[in-house]
Amino acid sequence: DGLSDMGTKLGNLIMLDSYTSSMCINSWGRLNYARALIEIRTDREIKDTMVISIPSVEGNGEVLHTVRIEYECKPPRCGVCMIFGHDDS
């Protein structure tokens, strides 16, 4: 599943919101956004964008798209110990 793969690149995918889940399960409609709860790993960069590959409509390969990532909560993170909740200033 593409959303699971994206979540894994950011950290540990805990869950998708109910609207996003129903769109994935029932394969109807089109999502302009997906909302997920992801446990972010402190040893990884917090990304603002991600490049994903999507199968081409013509069926002859893939197309690369840049997806913007927004965070509902982005707490301070120390650049020295990499722990959330404080910074190194």
Predicted confidence (pLDDT) per residue in 23-76, tens digit: 665 555 566 777 888 898 887 888 899 998 888 888 889 999 898 999 888 888
| pLDDT reported for residue 66 | 93
pLDDT band, residue 2 (cuts 50/70/90): confident
Q: What is the DSSP letter of 45?
A: -
3-state secondary structure at position 3: helix
The pLDDT, as a whole number, for residue 5 is 81
| pLDDT band (50, 70, 90) for residue 15 | confident
Rounded to 5 degrees, φ, ψ at 20 are: -60, -45
H/E segment holding residue 55 = strand 49-55
Question: What pLDDT, on a 0 to 100 scale, did the predictor assign at position 20?
Answer: 64
Query: To which residue do tokens 């040893």 refer?
Result: 43
